[in-house]
Amino acid sequence: MEIRIDKVLNEEKQVLGNLFEFYNYEFSKYIDSIELKDDGRYGFEPLDSYLSEPHFYPYFIRVDNRLAGFVIVKSENKNGVTFNSIEQFFIMKKYEGKGIGKYVAKEIFDRFPGEWKVTQVQKNYPAQAFWRSTINEYTNGDYREYYDDRRRSVQEFRNI
């Protein structure tokens, strides 16, 4: 199985938008405000920002040359320190449970050294378990975890 993490090009915006439809469908069970629009689509307003703003890094995840999901990293340098976060992360159901997500997460961490903060929504317990396990493995247990004021699970670590 070959796993690739490819930068999303501007001309691939529609493909990323199509994948966001699946992402929002999955996420709608955790966030009540995610609703279908009258045209039968969810849409995703920040899509343009992810492709145009310099602190966002969108990538397609491909398995054996087939689209399998996406990851969007937010990376900003402040006073000589790089702060990174996982803005969005999505693996298609077909590819879940095969180690693809963990592989991609660790590769992304390696590509973006610095301070990391990974946050999961309050009710998304599968994501919380995934990130806790992945970050624990990646850091050999050297990370901090807490719940923020919105009861979201947050993990922080450094990989400098």
| Stated pTM of the model | 0.93
Buried/exposed code over 114-130 (b: 16+ C-beta within 10 A; e: otherwise): ebbebbbeeebeebbeb
Domain that holds residue 7: 3-158
Number of domains in the chain: 1
Q: Where residue 98 sits, what CATH number does that domain have?
A: 3.40.630.30
When the pLDDT of each residue in the chain is averaged and rounded to a whole number, the result is: 93
pLDDT at 130: 97
For residue 67, the model assigns a pLDDT of: 98
pLDDT, tens digit, 9 for 90 and up, residues 17-56: 999 999 888 888 888 778 888 888 887 777 889 999 999 9
Tens of pLDDT along 79-107?
Answer: 889 999 999 999 999 999 999 999 999 99
